[in-house]
């Protein structure tokens, strides 16, 4: 499992990195065709009630899969993004089964 982290305008956090790797590892274990993931954390100063943005892009055979979310804190943002990715992966896995 290869995961690249990029922190844009946010201090790097080992706990956030570990939390995200734990969530992504579940996806990598469930979907064996995944190659790598790129995770971007950034903060939107203009959003007062949210502003913690998590973008995750997964590399796999065929087109890449991308999801993003903007929540009150990064942990919730990571959970939402991984949930969106899992929905996309389920659809992609069905395509693999039919061929």
Which of 83, 94, 68 lies closest to 27 in space, CA to CA?
83
| Residues listed for the chain | 99
- What are the tens digits of pLDDT across the range 39-84? 999 998 887 778 899 999 999 988 899 999 999 999 999 999 999 9
- What are the tens digits of pLDDT across the range 5-31? 999 988 999 999 999 999 999 999 999
For residues 45 and 41, give the distance between their C-alpha atoms in angstroms, rounded to a whole number.
Answer: 13
Which segments within the chain are labelled E, that is strand? 2-8, 36-43, 52-59, 65-71
In whole numbers, what is the pLDDT of the chain averaged over residues?
91
Apex 65 CA angle, 68 and 4, nearest 5: 75
pTM: 0.90
Q: Is the pLDDT of residue 99 over 70?
A: no
| Per-residue pLDDT, 53 | 93
């Amino acid at each position: 499992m290869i995961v690249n982290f990029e922190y844009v305008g946010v201090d790097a956090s080992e706990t956030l990195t570990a939390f995200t790797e734990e969530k992504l590892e579940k996806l990598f274990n469930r979907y064996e065709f995944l190659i790598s993931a790129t995770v971007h954390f950034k903060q939107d100063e203009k959003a007062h009630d949210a502003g913690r943005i998590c973008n995750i892009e997964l590399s796999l055979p065929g087109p890449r899969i991308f999801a993003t979310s903007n929540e009150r804190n990064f942990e919730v943002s990571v959970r939402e993004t991984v949930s969106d990715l899992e929905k996309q992966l389920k659809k992609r896995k069905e395509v693999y089964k039919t061929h």
